[in-house]
Amino acid sequence: AQKITQTQPGMFVQEKEAVTLDCTYDTSDQSYGLFWYKQPSSGEMIFLIYQGSYDEQNATEGRYSLNFQKARKSANLVISASQLGDSAMYFCAMREGPPGGYNKLIFGAGTRLAVHP
Partner 1 sequence: GAGVSQTPSNKVTEKGKYVELRCDPISGHTALYWYRQSLGQGPEFLIYFQGTGAADDSGLPNDRFFAVRPEGSVSTLKIQRTERGDSAVYLCASGGVEPASGELFFGEGSRLTVL
Binding-site ranges for partner 1 (CB under 8 A):
4, 33, 35, 37, 42-45, 47, 50, 52, 91, 93, 95, 99-110
Paired residues of 106 in beta bridges? 94
Pick 79 or 95: Cβ nearer partner 1: 95
Helices (H), the chain: none
Look up residue 71 and give its amino acid. A
Q: Which SS3 state, helix, strand or coil, does residue 84 take?
A: helix
All residues at 6 or more sequence positions from 29 whose CB lies less than 8 Å from its CB, including other chains? 53, 96, 97
Pick 13 or 95: Cβ nearer partner 1: 95
Least distance CB 17 / partner 1 (angstroms): 26
- How far apart CA 55 and CA 35 sit, in angstroms, is 13
Least distance CB 97 / partner 1 (angstroms): 9
Pick 56 or 117: Cβ nearer partner 1: 56
Least distance CB 15 / partner 1 (angstroms): 25
Pick 59 or 115: Cβ nearer partner 1: 59
Phi, psi of 3, rounded to the nearest 5 degrees: -90, -35
Paired residues of 113 in beta bridges? 11, 88
Least distance CB 16 / partner 1 (angstroms): 28
